[in-house]
Amino acid sequence: MTVLLTGAAGFIGMHVAELLLSRGDEVVGIDDLNAYYDVGLKRARLARLESRRGFRFLAADVANREAMLALAGLEPGTTRIVHLAAQPGVRHSLVDPYAYVQANVMGHLVVLELARRLPRLEHLVYASSSSVYGGNRELPFAETDRVDHPVSLYAATKRSGELISESYAHLFGLPQTGLRFFTVYGPWGRPDMAPWMFADAILAGRAITLYDAGRLKRDFTFVEDIAAGVVGCLDHPAPASTPRLLNIGNHRSVEVRRFVTVLEAALGRPAIVVDAPRPATDVPETFADIDAIRTICGYEPRTPIEVGIPRFAEWFLSWRKGG
């Protein structure tokens, strides 16, 4: 099976690619290696993949119509697409809103246009986000909840992608599954995410900021559980004209201050904590209802933070030392 994977040099993308390659799939990785965060980290992930049999890399921006649509002729045997490329980061959308519309809306549209030109395509799985739930107060978040009040531009662009996908399923019969990721962490994570920023500050003796005294709660999900869920969903195509939206999380809501306590123990150092009010872009709690993905794909997260955080810390210390 040939899988086209966008965002292959990204955090989740690398783990999904490794899982696909381990079972013998051919993976065509797409990434533009942009400078939103350390390109060296992206290249290191990519080097891991390029050492594996069955992986090919093409440098391209998913919003580049000419480059992406050319893949219909270059890779006509593609049977599945995993579309993970995006402009991430909720708070950065206040700084550069145009990047979010370009990558998350235009990029999503271009991937759909590519998908409908691939004659053997069986399934497209794409990344949405739990941020689409906005300020919803009913927990856990379920796929049937209303999602028409986003609290960030990032969330609005991810919801836009879901709606565009629904129209393409109706118009062109594209079998699609959108996955609403909850807070993902683990080895090879991103420098702009809380686990990395917390670990870096703790080791350097700098203060970390916890909003509302760390009482915000997140459904922290280990990246290997996420990768297994992505591949599991890829193997269970949605009906052609009935697109699916599924939560993919840990089904455990943990206070951020508890996350920090476990991280302190894993690093062997205490954190210096500063309290601050919750920003308008942050919600008080996220918590995934995963009944649907469990039923459809057999998804079952297995990694509590007491296991996942030490694994992240071990990798982070190694990366900090240069490899």
154 catalytic, yes or no?
Answer: yes
Query: Strand 217-218 to strand 254-255: parallel, antiparallel, or no bridges (unpaired)?
Result: antiparallel
Give yes or no for a contact between 2 and 123, defined as CB atoms under 8 angstroms apart: no
126, 154, 168, 185: which is the annotated catalytic residue?
Answer: 154
Question: What is the distance between the alpha carbons of residues 24 and 9, in angstroms, rounded to a whole number?
Answer: 19
The first and second tokens of residue 4, run together, are 């086209």
DSSP state of 36: T
d(CA 206, CA 234): 42
Residue among 113, 16, 133 nearest 63 (CA): 113
Rounded alpha-carbon distances, angstroms, from residue 7 to 14, 16, 215, 272, 314: 8, 10, 32, 34, 25
Paired tokens of 199? 């670990």
Distance CA 82, CA 25 (A): 13
Cα distance between residue 155 and residue 129, in whole Å: 7
Which residues are identified as catalytic? 154
